[in-house]
Amino acid sequence: MSNQFIDSLRGLKTLQLMGISKQYADNVYQVSERYRKQTMKVLKIAMLSSFAMDFFSTLSIAIVAVFMGIDLLNGTLALYRAMVALILAPEYFMPIREFGNDYHATLNGKNAMNAVLTVLAQPVPTPTPGLPELTGWDHDATLAASHLNFTYWAGHRRHRCQLLAAWRTKGRHHRAQWFW
């Protein structure tokens, strides 16, 4: 969801340069609203989850403290032992508090792995047909390119790319020219 929002923001400058940014203003607004609503839903769940874990761990520590206080009043527990146990109790319940963070870190890892698998599942690009093969190219060859041009006009104008390249292999000079 955030990628679509960021892409919309990055594309604003291009739309502005092409003079059609006002036509896409509603689209950008809708994307930003969806992103805002989705972010608020995620934050609501994360805060509620964090609150629940903190609440139950704090409640557990409070229950331990109450029972220790009762034992201290009855004289069945020494003050030193009660203080040590009460100081260590938050550390004992720390994994409950960190459970939410670990869960979200695992979820981020799963999402990252899904993204990697999506990229790996894409087909391997094939060479573009119509380009001449570069014969005579080996590991000793050197390439020098000059006169690189790229032209693009909006609307019904011509798209054009030119490349004039020269390379040398074993004392022989070769030259290639591409035009679109």
Whether residue 69 sits in one domain with residue 17: yes
Distance CA 46, CA 54 (A): 12
In the predicted model, is pLDDT for residue 17 greater than 60?
A: yes
Whether 71 and 155 share a structural domain? no
Q: Are residues 39 and 109 in the same domain?
A: yes
CB count in 10 Å sphere of residue 27:
12
Binning pLDDT at 50, 70 and 90, where does residue 18 land?
confident
CB 116 within 8 A of CB 152: no
**What's the predicted TM-score (pTM) here?**
0.45
Q: Do 170 and 113 share a structural domain?
A: no
Q: 9-18, 84-93, 106-115 — which one is most confidently predicted on average?
A: 84-93
Number of H helices, E strands in the chain: 4, 3
Domain hosting residue 110, numbered range: 2-121
Angle (deg, nearest 10), helices 25-74 and 2-18 = 150
Residues 98 and 163 occupy one common structural domain: no
The Cα 174–Cα 167 span in angstroms is 5
Burial letters for 2-15: b for 16+ Cβ neighbours within 10 Å, e otherwise? eeebeebeeeeeeb
Burial of 57 (0-12, 13-18, 19+ CB in 10 A): buried
Does a structural domain hold residue 26?
yes
Q: Decide which of 51 and 16 is more confident.
A: 51
Assigned domain for 127 exists:
no
The number of distinct structural domains making up the chain is 2
Supply the pLDDT for residue 64: 92
Residues 67 and 153 in one domain: no
Query: Distance between CA 142 and CA 144 in Å, rounded?
Result: 7
> Predicted confidence band at 53 (pLDDT cuts at 50, 70, 90)?
confident
Q: Are residues 109 and 25 in the same domain?
A: yes
Identify whether residues 171 and 117 lie together within a single domain.
no
pLDDT at 167: 58
